[in-house]
């Protein structure tokens, strides 16, 4: 075999290996996304880098984030940047769940989601709301489990398209409806839902009272609302610089106007008129640590980061994708630290009832 043949053979093998690596290596579970399909959501490919810079510009003047009219753009930009990476590297359910012995991450996630709707006590055919539905992973699990009609709302138009596509692919589009909107101003009539849930979503609101007021408005009297909230715990010390850095790291990397303390949740719920039925931090023992998945995923991150870097270099992935992927890795480290130290919980559960009409 002459040298030219050897070079051509090696080039073909390298190209084939690169194609296999890019197209098949990386995803953890069933995602609906491949590495070559990473985009900037609704952002044009050539504008992803600029939008990534715009996202970080919100933190140069933190008070801007606390202004309600700034937050929708802030959160929408974030989910345009991260949605494809979340689906590819994490799954269609953008949340955490307690680790369950003998159960895969996927099974534990499904059980966590089904528990939410079980606590609502809805019947088949009931109409329930997913406030902050993302691409609809929880919605589909809940609809399949409960046979309720689930309406999801998300502020991000790209997520609406992804959720509708996934609903149809799963054969659940007759039970699942998705609308684009702000859960601070929902396009639904008063007293129109038999139950409402939000899974790690209301943390994006600048004012929790406004979200709970709006949920209270659309919920039928006597019906239940359940939320899994992101909070700082009783172990968080505002005077501890390390604690502060961890919490700020979580806020910066997850589009949060500011994390709330666990004490705020029930107080706000009662203030808007809810009766608090149950409150529990599902991250605490005897639950197994939720953050182990983050620590175990470090090798997958470096593997995927190499892949994203290659894709961006080849022009397949938008410029800025590498920066976004790195931002999410840094944030994952802050989340894991918050979980290990017990100062942060992503699943402070509160179950509320809207009083029955007199």
CATH number of the domain residue 104 falls in: 3.40.50.150
Percent of the chain with pLDDT over 70: 88
Q: What is the pLDDT of residue 64?
A: 62
Distance between start and end Cα atoms, the chain: 91
Residue the block writes with tokens 């918050």:
338
> 240-266: per-residue pLDDT in tens?
999 999 999 999 999 998 999 999 999
Radius of gyration for the alpha carbons in the chain, expressed in angstroms and rounded: 21
Any idea which residue has 């810079």 for tokens? 53
- Predicted pLDDT at 108: 92
Give the confidence band of 28 by pLDDT, cuts at 50, 70, 90: very low
Q: Name 227's bridge partners.
A: 198, 350
Reduced to 3 states, what is the DSSP secondary structure of residue 186? coil
Q: How far is CA 160 from the centre of its chain?
A: 14
Nearest to residue 259, comparing CAs of 221, 323, 205? 205
Distance CA(311)–CA(333), nearest Å, equals 24
The length of the chain, given as a count of residues? 358
pLDDT tens-digit map of 116-156 = 999 999 999 999 999 999 999 999 999 999 999 999 999 99
3-class DSSP state for residue 99?
strand
pTM for this entry: 0.90
CB-facing half-sphere around the CA of 133: CA atoms within 13 A: 33
SS3 109: helix
**What is residue 289's DSSP assignment?**
P
Report the C-alpha gap between 176 and 33 in whole angstroms.
21
**199: containing domain:** 1-358
More confident residue, 1 or 244: 244
- Sequence-ordered strand ranges (E) for 15-154: 127-131, 149-154
CA distances from 3 to 7, 8, 10, 134 (A): 6, 9, 10, 54
What pLDDT, on a 0 to 100 scale, did the predictor assign at position 27?
Answer: 46
| Domain count within the chain | 1
For residue 277, what are the CA distances in angstroms to 70, 137, 178, 214, 217?
34, 26, 28, 19, 18
């Amino acid at each position: 075999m002459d040298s030219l043949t050897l070079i051509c053979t090696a080039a073909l093998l390298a190209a084939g290996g690169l194609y296999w690596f890019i197209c098949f290596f990386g995803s953890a579970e069933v995602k609906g996304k491949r590495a070559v399909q990473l985009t900037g959501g609704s952002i044009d490919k050539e504008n992803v880098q600029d939008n990534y810079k715009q996202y970080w510009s919100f933190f140069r003047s933190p008070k801007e984030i606390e202004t309600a009219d700034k937050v929708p753009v802030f959160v929408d930009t974030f989910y345009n940047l991260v949605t494809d990476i979340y689906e590819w590297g994490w799954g269609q359910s953008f949340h955490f769940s307690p680790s369950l012995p003998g159960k895969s991450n996927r099974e534990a996630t499904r059980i966590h989601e089904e528990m939410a709707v079980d606590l609502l006590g809805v019947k088949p055919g009931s109409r329930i709301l997913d406030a902050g539905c993302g691409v609809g992973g929880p919605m589909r699990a809940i609809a399949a489990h409960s046979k309720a009609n689930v309406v999801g709302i998300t502020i991000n138009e790209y997520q609406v398209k992804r959720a509708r596509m996934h609903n149809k692919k799963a054969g659940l589009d007759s039970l699942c409806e998705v609308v684009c909107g702000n859960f601070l101003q929902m396009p639904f009539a008063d007293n129109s839902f038999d139950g409402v849930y939000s899974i790690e979503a209301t943390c994006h609101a600048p004012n929790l009272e406004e979200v709970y007021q709006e949920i209270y408005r659309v919920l039928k009297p006597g019906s239940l609302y359940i939320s899994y909230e992101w909070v700082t715990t009783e172990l968080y010390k505002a005077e501890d610089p390390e604690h502060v850095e961890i919490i700020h790291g979580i806020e910066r990397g997850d589009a949060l106007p500011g994390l709330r303390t666990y004490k705020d949740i029930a107080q706000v719920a009662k203030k808007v008129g809810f009766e608090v039925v149950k409150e529990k931090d599902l991250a605490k023992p005897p639950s197994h640590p939720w953050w182990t998945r983050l620590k175990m995923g470090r090798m997958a991150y470096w593997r995927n980061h190499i892949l994203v870097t290659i894709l961006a270099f080849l022009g397949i992935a938008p410029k800025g994708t590498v920066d976004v992927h790195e931002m999410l890795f840094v944030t994952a480290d802050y989340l894991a630290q918050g979980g290990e130290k017990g100062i942060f919980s992503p699943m402070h559960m509160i179950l509320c009832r809207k009083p029955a009409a007199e």
